[in-house]
Structure 1
């Protein structure tokens, strides 16, 4: 079904609670594991119907954040969604404590029950008021970012549409764009600090209500870190500091020479060539047509996927005023339909959407065929391998999008992927510092970010951009506000995607088969186990990051 034709009706939670109570009674009265699993299938349907309505409302709200109807719907779900979470946790607790748990675990897998344990440990009904407040605060942040109106020669741009000028080949244009970009955050700095103050306090209170010292352990449970913990993540970050930061600095030095600059300003961060970054050729419609051709040729599975997405109009990718910033893939379970939301702006980022978000959507499309719904609950570091690796697997078709600048794009993409890893780790360490010290003032947070910049991005100069110079750059990162601790996942995944990149350059088909296996495994096994099953080294193991850096330098730096 086409997205625009999908009917929407507000979820009546009072009605759903009554239905849910009946479902719980039926589950409790079942006299065998097989019978309980039949009830569990009804639970799948019950939950899918609710989540589909909530997701339709969210997408339509994000498409136009000024739409009064869907703004009210979003507000309604911000207030009532914790009630859904309460219902889910109550049901999962019943499964977890079932006398037929062994049978149920055989049906759904061990990962599902570990995730249930984490859900139980991360929610209690007494948290509902705090969860409602948290939802409202994240929506407030998203709306504030979406409200940006940047005057560009009489044209009003939001932050996404300004991106084209932030990466312009003319340094004066970049400086002007960055000045306006920085000014927006400075003008809204107090409000951004206030929102984050409240979020940190809120999440810390949630943690303490559940008996945790701070939000970190609760945060890990919420993102379902089901096979690794804080110490393993810290070890990974330390490896990045030791091996990847020096490698990234070499890439920045090469970039600086290409651009003919004496130093790299933050206004130069997204620029890779003196004559400008490669831009996609063709209209948005032509880009989408070329994408359909690309996925049609890549494999039988990708052809089926992209044809389904196109025929059902499951994309909203054009940048528009009042549209939420950023991009994402989400899923509509009733229709077994992924949906891709983005903001095309005429830069190479448009193609990254068609590769990165389609990596997520392709895996979601495959997992939608699995009757065990728990297998679709992919943890985020795994999900980001799907997307980041797809960026590399589609490289043979990049000439369709970049023409005679294809080689420039491929070089830029590799460098951009590599230099992201220190930044992503910095975002993660910043969040650990914040939630370990929830009483930090806004100024102390800004100072902490400035110190981390020196460790992870020593090349960078913010001179001339006062708000960012004082340590405010992190406030443009929505994950810090909306999805705490979901950012290191990108870095873990990028190390794995680099492994696929190295393998595909040696044997493309073998690498693709391994990637397809990972996508089909979904969440049927733990992340660390799936790495072994698909021949990938774990980023948490000592020496993994060092080996990846050595290989990248050997293959793509010393010979270039």
Structure 2
């Protein structure tokens, strides 16, 4: 069934409540572990149906935020989702406290019960109104960003479509494009400050109501940090400052020479070659066709996956006005199908969609027949390994997308991946500062960002830009608004994916076999256990980062 043919019908929250309450009562009265597990299978059916409905509604809203029908559905989902999450919590509490827990642990795993414990500490009836308000605030931010209309050289662009000018070969054009970008944010920065201030205070109020000192711990629980906590993250960031920041400084100096400027400015930092960054060749349709050919050649598993995705049109990747920014993959459990959302804009980022988001989707596809749905509840630091590693595994096919500039793409992608690591840590540390100090003013938050820039991105020079030079850059990062404490997952996954890069350069087939094994492990075990099982080092282990930096430095400067 093609995605356009999948029906959408708004769920009735009263009916959903009735079904959950029936499941809760039946599970409480189960006479054996076997009976309780049979009841749990009915929960799988209900959950799969609701989750799929929500994701379809959100996806169709995101592809056109001006569509009034799906805008209304998005509002309804935002309002009812906290109610559903609380019903889920009440149902799973029955499992957590079950007299047949040992039996249930054997069936759905110890990871599932740890996740239930963290989720149960993240919600209560008392905070449902706050959660609904939080969802509305995030949607307000998304709509502002999606509806951006930026005048540039006689045309009107959204933020995604402007990007090709921000990374082009003409430095003056780049500078003007960044100025147009900055000027837009100046018109909305006060409103974004207001939204974020309300979000910080809202989330802090949720945390206080649940007995936490600050939102930080609640944020970790909401992200289901079942294998590490703040102490490990702080140690990890320290290692990144010591090892990756100096490497990025070396890369920036080489890039400065490569593009022929006296000093890198903020409008130069995403440009890697004097003649501009390599761009994909061909139309979007040709790019998608080349992607299908690539995955058909990569492995039998990826061949089956990509044909399923293309035949059923589970992609919406063209950039359009009023389309939400960014890219993501969602999984529809009812239909055992991944769906991919993106914004093609004529830059190399279009190919990253074919690799990164398809990495997520491929993992979802190869585990689609898993009967124990808890085994699919992957935490994000693991999920992002699947996507970021796929970016490297597909290097051998980049000629299809970049022609004679494939080597330039390799160099750009590798340097960009390395440079991202400190930035990702900066986003994470910024959020810790903000939620540790919820009464900061908007001005103080921007000042905190600028201080972090000095540590993590010391070469960044914003000249006299009125928005970016005053600490506003973080306002474009949707994760800070909508997905607090998610961003460090990208960084953790990135350094693991780099291990796969080193491995595949030595033995591609062996690296691929272990990657496929990791995909199939899904969420059956805890994070560091899974890494060890497939021969990867934990990012938290002493020496992992310094060793990796040595290997990546050789890669970057060979």
Shorter-chain TM-score: which interval? over 0.9
Partner in structure 2 of residue 510 of structure 1: 510
Displacement of 1:46: 0.3
Q: Does 1:549 align with 2:552?
A: no
List runs of 5+ in structure 2 lacking aligned partners: none
Displacement of 1:401: 0.4
Contact residue 296 and residue 306 of structure 1 kept, 8 A? yes
1:32-431 equivalence runs, <5 A: 32-431=32-431
Displacement of 1:19: 1.6
Displacement of 1:27: 1.5
* Distance across 2 between alignment mates of 1:514 and 1:323: 37
* Distance across 2 between alignment mates of 1:365 and 1:347: 27
Displacement of 1:24: 1.6
Q: Cα deviation per residue 1:400-437 (whole Å; 9 max; x = unaligned)? A: 00000000000100000000000000000000000000
Displacement of 1:21: 1.5
* Distance across 2 between alignment mates of 1:358 and 1:424: 22
List runs of 5+ in structure 1 lacking aligned partners: none
* Distance across 2 between alignment mates of 1:264 and 1:475: 22
Partner in structure 1 of residue 490 of structure 2: 490
Contact residue 359 and residue 388 of structure 1 kept, 8 A? yes
**What secondary structure does 2:334 align onto?**
helix
- Give the TM-score taking structure 1 as reference length: 0.99
Q: Cα deviation per residue 1:27-69 (whole Å; 9 max; x = unaligned)? A: 1222111111111011000011111111111001000000000
| RMSD between aligned residues | 0.7
Q: Cα deviation per residue 1:275-307 (whole Å; 9 max; x = unaligned)? A: 010000111001000100100010111111111
**What secondary structure does 1:264 align onto?**
coil
* Distance across 2 between alignment mates of 1:484 and 1:554: 34
**What secondary structure does 2:267 align onto?**
helix
**What secondary structure does 2:339 align onto?**
strand
**What secondary structure does 2:331 align onto?**
strand
Runs of 4+ in structure 1 displaced over 3 angstroms? none
- Give the TM-score taking structure 2 as reference length: 0.99
* Distance across 2 between alignment mates of 1:422 and 1:262: 24
* Distance across 1 between alignment mates of 2:236 and 2:214: 22
* Distance across 2 between alignment mates of 1:57 and 1:288: 25
Number of equivalences = 558
Query: Which has the larger displacement, 480-489 or 30-39?
Result: 30-39
* Distance across 2 between alignment mates of 1:554 and 1:287: 31
Q: Does 1:522 align with 2:522?
A: yes
Partner in structure 2 of residue 533 of structure 1: 533
Contact residue 367 and residue 375 of structure 1 kept, 8 A? no
Q: Cα deviation per residue 1:338-359 (whole Å; 9 max; x = unaligned)? A: 0000000000000000000000
* Distance across 1 between alignment mates of 2:512 and 2:358: 15
Q: Cα deviation per residue 1:376-405 (whole Å; 9 max; x = unaligned)? A: 110001011000000000000000000000
**What secondary structure does 1:460 align onto?**
coil
Q: Cα deviation per residue 1:226-272 (whole Å; 9 max; x = unaligned)? A: 01010000000000000110001101111110011111111112110
Displacement of 1:331: 1.1
Contact residue 58 and residue 74 of structure 2 kept, 8 A? yes
* Distance across 2 between alignment mates of 1:303 and 1:319: 26
* Distance across 2 between alignment mates of 1:544 and 1:56: 40
**What secondary structure does 1:541 align onto?**
coil
Displacement of 1:364: 1.1
